[in-house]
Amino acid sequence: MQPFGVDINLQTGEMLEPDRIVVRRASDMQGYYADADALEQLIRRGDPIHYEVFEKPVPETPGNLMYCISKLQPGLIGDEFYMTKGHYHRVRHTAELYLCLRGQGLMLMKTEEGECVAEAMARGRLVYVPPSWAHRSVNTGTEPLVSFCAYPAEAGHNYGDIEEQGFPKRVLRVQGEPQLV
Amino acid sequence: MQPFGVDINLQTGEMLEPDRIVVRRASDMQGYYADADALEQLIRRGDPIHYEVFEKPVPETPGNLMYCISKLQPGLIGDEFYMTKGHYHRVRHTAELYLCLRGQGLMLMKTEEGECVAEAMARGRLVYVPPSWAHRSVNTGTEPLVSFCAYPAEAGHNYGDIEEQGFPKRVLRVQGEPQLV
């Protein structure tokens, strides 16, 4: 394997010339938000992009490192802030680094044992998601929440567990402020 | 293990409140530069800091990710640009990510088979050091070369091979410009 370089705009978080873009629209988020009607209305109003992941993939083999730019739009579904689906890693005992480049939000994390914590995300904040913690970004601001992410390339993703079980807590707007409930 | 956050100034590359700082002075670089006399003069003129690595270490076990800020001062030893010692990983088949936050330079990389390539480093440039490639930063600019780095936590470092064998190429100032020779 040969070395290579990738350009990232550190002001906007834009990755120049990604090889793969994963796009999640409002319609991909059915079942995730408390207010299903509000989500349906958004889907009918044009089904806008919810979040995107920009990648230049490397082989998904041990020793390599996968990296990406995660970009989550701002907004509310009812009183609930926009969020990503969230996932465990398929190889469960693998960590992930999120270096926030833009926006305001929370990294919501949980264990299989039911522990649930949130770390603040803001430009320059590096959040360490330890091995075996499921994680989901939540945008509590007014601009896109953009992070540079890195994780062991063999880690993979397991979305099914979160789809079925969700997280123990949601991030709602209460009296104008984000609150974990 | 519990999640945590770390603050990094994305303009200067400064890590706030590191838990560990590795400091390499000019005197730690004996044997690395072509012009040993020029290095000795620098050591006698106060033995200044050559480069620093700022860390908040995590357990060096598979599944975790080590990360750090690398800060290499600008300058010349004779005609040779300041550089880090360079290393393979002790667990050889492990990659490393360098996201350059400040400065100008080159990432010099080599394999055991004698291949040697350089990738440009500048603010916003992510360099992918593939598994099994030794790597060394070279500062060809006039300000510190600062990068955010990430690698598998079990990778470790092997400096001995580089100390004995060096790299096939050096980065010299030739007619005012950096040149690989």
β-bridge pairing B125-129 and A49-55: unpaired
- A104-110 sheet: strands from edge to edge: A116-122, A104-110, A134-139
**How would you write the pLDDT of chain A (181 residues) with one tens digit per residue?**
999 999 999 999 999 999 999 999 999 999 999 999 999 999 999 999 999 999 999 999 999 999 999 999 999 999 999 999 999 999 999 999 999 999 999 999 999 999 999 999 999 999 999 999 999 999 999 999 999 999 999 999 998 889 999 999 999 999 999 999 9
For position B143, what pLDDT does the model report? 98
- pLDDT of B26-42, one tens digit each? 999 999 999 999 999 99
Residue of B2, B14, B127 to mutate, interface with A, max A Cβ within 10 Å:
B2
**What value does the mean pLDDT take over residues B114-141?**
98
Check A64 against B129: CB less than 8 A apart: no
User: Could you count the other beta carbons within 10 Å of the beta carbon of residue A84?
Assistant: 22
Confidence of residue B140 (pLDDT cuts 50, 70, 90): very high
- Nearest residue in chain A measured CA to CA from B133: A3
What's the 3-state SS for A59-79?
CCCCCCEEEEEEEECCCEECC
Residues of A in contact with B131 (CB under 8 A): 1, 63-64
Burial bucket for residue A105 (CB in 10 Å: 0-12, 13-18, 19+): buried
Residues of B in contact with A94 (CB under 8 A): 63
The answer to whether B125 and B100 are in contact (CB under 8 A) is: yes
Residue of A10, A69, A89 to mutate, interface with B, max B Cβ within 10 Å:
A10
Q: What are phi and psi of B92, to 5 degrees?
A: -55, -45
Residues of chain A with a CB closer than 8 angstroms to some CB in chain B: 1-10, 58, 62-65, 67, 91, 93-97, 99, 101, 107, 109, 117, 119-120, 123-131, 133, 148, 150-153
pTM: 0.96
Q: Residue B97: which of A98, A65, A129, A18 has the closest Cα?
A: A65
Q: Chain-centre distance of CA B154, in angstroms? A: 19
The answer to whether B153 and B130 are in contact (CB under 8 A) is: no
Q: Which of A3, A107, A123 sits opposite B119 (nearest CB)?
A: A3
| Dihedral, CA of residue A40, residue A42, residue A45 and residue A48, to nearest 10 | -120
